[in-house]
Chains A and B, each alone.
Chain A
Amino acid sequence: MEIYILLGFVLILSIYLGLELISKVPSTLHTPLMSGANAISGIALVGALTLTQDTFLQTVIAFLAITFASINVFGGYLVTNRMLSMFKKK
């Protein structure tokens, strides 16, 4: 149970940090911020990589988790980059 207290601590601090970091973002950047944050939520890929694959069902589940998380990661970062490269000041 102790481990959950520790993890809960990390969770709360990270949420607080996130709220502080992003409290003032110009509306110009709302879409790229959302899309960039969305790419970060692809971190689920790291979790998907560690799943046990003892049974056939587990292997299928792990494969699907890895595939969908990878779409999220690669697609998310690429499209955010594409979008941001258009934001220019003349």
Chain B
Amino acid sequence: MENFDITLLQNIAYIFAAILFITGIKMLGKEATAQKGNIISAVGMFIAIIVTAINIVNPFVVLGGILLGAFIGSVIAVKVKMTSIPEMVALFNGFGGLATFFIAWSEMSNTNDNLFQYLLVILTIYIGGVTFSGSLIAFGKLSERLKIGKGNLLTNLFISIFYVSLVSILAMLVLPMIGSLPLNFETIFYVYLALVMLGGVGFVLPIGGGDMPVVISLLNSLSGIAAAFAGLILVNNVLIVAGSLVGASGLILTIIMAKAMNRTIGNILFVGYAASAASSSSEQGEVKPINAEDAFLILENASSVLIVPGYGMAVAQAQHVVRELGELLEENGTDVKYGIHPVAGRMPGHMNVLLAEANVSYDLLAEPDDVNPMMDTVDVAIVIGANDVVNPSATEEPGSPIYGMPILEVANARTVFVLKRSMSSGFAGVQNPLFFKENTRMLFGDAKESISGLVSEFKD
């Protein structure tokens, strides 16, 4: 009887936790309530953990694990630089997936004759495992520790393992129906675990840096789905609800990112740019370089300026000087806005986080749909380390691989400054005609140094 009461109490508490998660994630969707929403969802998590910990099996193992995890997680969260957020989100996400991988592994011994339970375990191991190893590869790529890409022999090997791992799910599902096995089941099971882990590597390895916003959202979604599946295995509603919410939100972000690139998710994951980039435009011309002094003179007389940051701003860590330049322009009476493309950078909303860190007010940040209609009233568009998201080929050249992708149409501004390190093409490997336009001026050099140059011109 006493045991029953605890279970009842836990289930009631789980309902409350679920309500808090739902409220929290809803509030996360609006700027004004986002921070409160995160705290509400954390309270829900706290309640769920506390009531579960009432009748734990082994307090030493449990407390030890929680304390160790809390310590590591907190240290990383407090110390991480804002420029490293993408890889850190990938890492945490991977750990969540790994936890569900272990849960399903542990529950393998409880499947006995329940075929459906066995199916769930096999699937959860797969989703959790691929989320983990895939996220680790994403972490490596985002932090630029891992520089292996498409076409490499090793990459191709891992891609093959990924496909083998997909087939192995089917093999594992029909296995219990075969009477005599050539190996004992335990051995086969361990081979499966290894295949899953290596398969996740092959899943993410061939995908390029510019496609990372999609991959990272998808992995985020998968970690939620894995948790929901673990909830099915353990017959635990709060896991199902919380996991599904995460799965759904990740899926929506994935779709938004894919739309912003005008590509299907399948094309991003399994084809990539290289295959479709066969017809590269040969249009060339003279680029017109400009120096900081002349750029300053034009900016000083501009009444409206649009700043368009890209991955180059993140690499150069130029967000603080960009904000400084924005403020100086505003003091000079110029109307300053920031045009943010949804896939600029390496994760969804990457530019927004960096500009927020630099203390730029979020109501100055505008999306392509808001700024494109009024682009011809913009005196100067300053493109900082962005390339593909401002490439006019997307609207002008039906043959271009990026044709149809929604872009920031900076070419329609009166003058365009492009800050760039060199004349190399963007991630998509597509030549950018913007650089050769009549109204474009190139300011070559490191983004941070170039902007600092402009800032000091203003101060003089």
Interface residues, chain A, with chain B CB atoms under 8 Å away? 1, 3-4, 7-8, 10-11, 14-19, 21-53, 58-59, 61-90
Min CB distance, B84 to chain A, in Å? 10
Q: How far is the CA of A62 from the CA of B230 in the complex (A)?
A: 14
Also in contact, A66 and B106, with CB within 8 A (given A28-B365, A30-B253, A49-B52): no
Expressed in whole angstroms, the Cα–Cα distance for A27 and B341 within the complex equals: 9
Complex CA gap A33/B41 in Å reads: 12
Asked if B62 contacts A41 (CB within 8 A), the reply is no
Given known contacts A27-B348, A39-B42, A40-B25, is B68 in contact with A78 (CB within 8 Å)?
no
A17 near B38: Cβ-Cβ < 8 Å = no
Interface size of B by CB at 8 A reads: 107
Residues of B within 8 A of A1 (CB): 116
A41 to B342, CA, bound (A): 24
Given A40-B45, A47-B236, A72-B96, answer yes or no on A79-B85 (Cβ-Cβ < 8 Å): yes
Q: Are A33 and B99 in contact (CB under 8 A)?
A: no
Q: Are B93 and A21 in contact (CB under 8 A)?
A: no
Query: Pick the contact of A34 from B105, B110, B217 — CB < 8 Å?
Result: B217
- Indicate whether B395 reaches chain A with its CB closer than 8 angstroms: no
Tell whether, in the assembled complex, residue A86 and residue B25 are in contact, meaning their CB atoms are under 8 Å apart: no
- Determine whether B69 belongs to the interface, using a CB cutoff of 8 Å to chain A: yes
Q: Write the chain B residue with the least CB distance to A27.
A: B342
The answer to whether A89 touches B363, judged by C-beta atoms less than 8 angstroms apart, is: yes
With A27-B340, A72-B93, A75-B92 known, 13 other A-B pairs at CB within 8 A are A4-B116, A18-B244, A26-B30, A29-B28, A31-B85, A34-B253, A34-B349, A37-B246, A64-B102, A66-B66, A72-B96, A85-B35, A89-B31
For B431, the chain A residues whose CB sits under 8 A away are none
9 pairs from A and B in contact (CB 8 Å cutoff): A10-B240, A19-B252, A29-B30, A34-B347, A36-B24, A50-B234, A61-B106, A74-B74, A84-B35
Produce 1/0 per residue, B74-92, CB < 8 A to A: 1011101010010011001
Contact B230 A44 (CB under 8 A): yes
Give the residues in chain B near A26, CB-CB below 8 Å: 30-31, 367
Complex-state Cα separation, A33 to B348, whole angstroms = 10
Query: Is A88 a contact of B359 with CB atoms below 8 Å?
Result: yes
Q: Are B65 and A70 interface neighbours, CB within 8 A?
A: yes
List, in ascending order, chain B residues with CB within 8 A of A77's CB: 38, 41-42, 45
Asked whether B357 lies within 8 Å of A86 as measured between CB atoms, the reply is: yes
In the complex, are the beta carbons of B234 and A71 less than 8 A apart? no
B248 touches A18 (CB 8 A): yes
CB proximity of B399 to chain A, nearest CB, Å: 29
- Whether the pair B89, A35 counts as a contact (CB closer than 8 A) is yes
- Closest residue of chain B to A21, judged by CB? B26
Residues 106 to 133 of chain B near chain A (Cβ within 8 Å): 106-107, 109-110, 116
Complex-state Cα separation, A75 to B349, whole angstroms: 19
A28 with B73: CB separation less than 8 A: no
Contact for A53 among B61, B239, B251, CB less than 8 A? B61
Task: Provide the bound-state CA to CA distance between A23 and B329, in Å.
Answer: 36
Evaluate contact between B352 and A27: CB separation under 8 angstroms: yes
**With A47-B236, A72-B99 in contact, do A62 and B242 touch (Cβ < 8 Å)?**
no
- Chain B minimum-CB-distance residue to A1: B116
9-residue interface stretch from B195-203, B221-229, B372-380:
B221-229
* B9 lies within 8 A of chain A by Cβ: no
Q: Are A18 and B77 in contact (CB under 8 A)?
A: no
- What distance in Å separates the Cβ of A17 from its nearest Cβ neighbour in chain B? 7
Residue of B nearest to A20 (CB): B248
B58 within 8 A of A: yes
How distant is the Cα of A2 from the Cα of B397 in the complex, in angstroms?
57
Query: Is B39 engaged at the interface, CB distance under 8 Å to the other chain?
Result: yes
In the complex, the answer to whether B96 meets A44 with C-beta atoms within 8 Å is yes
CB-based contact A70/B73 at 8 Å:
yes
Q: Tell which of A10, A44, A73, A81 has the most Cβ of chain B within 10 Å.
A: A44
B69 lies within 8 A of A74 (CB): yes
Check if A51 sits within 8 Å of B106, measured CB to CB.
yes
Is B98 positioned at the interface, with any CB of A under 8 Å from its CB?
A: yes
* Given A38-B220, A61-B102, A88-B361, residue A82 in contact with residue B234 (CB < 8 A): no
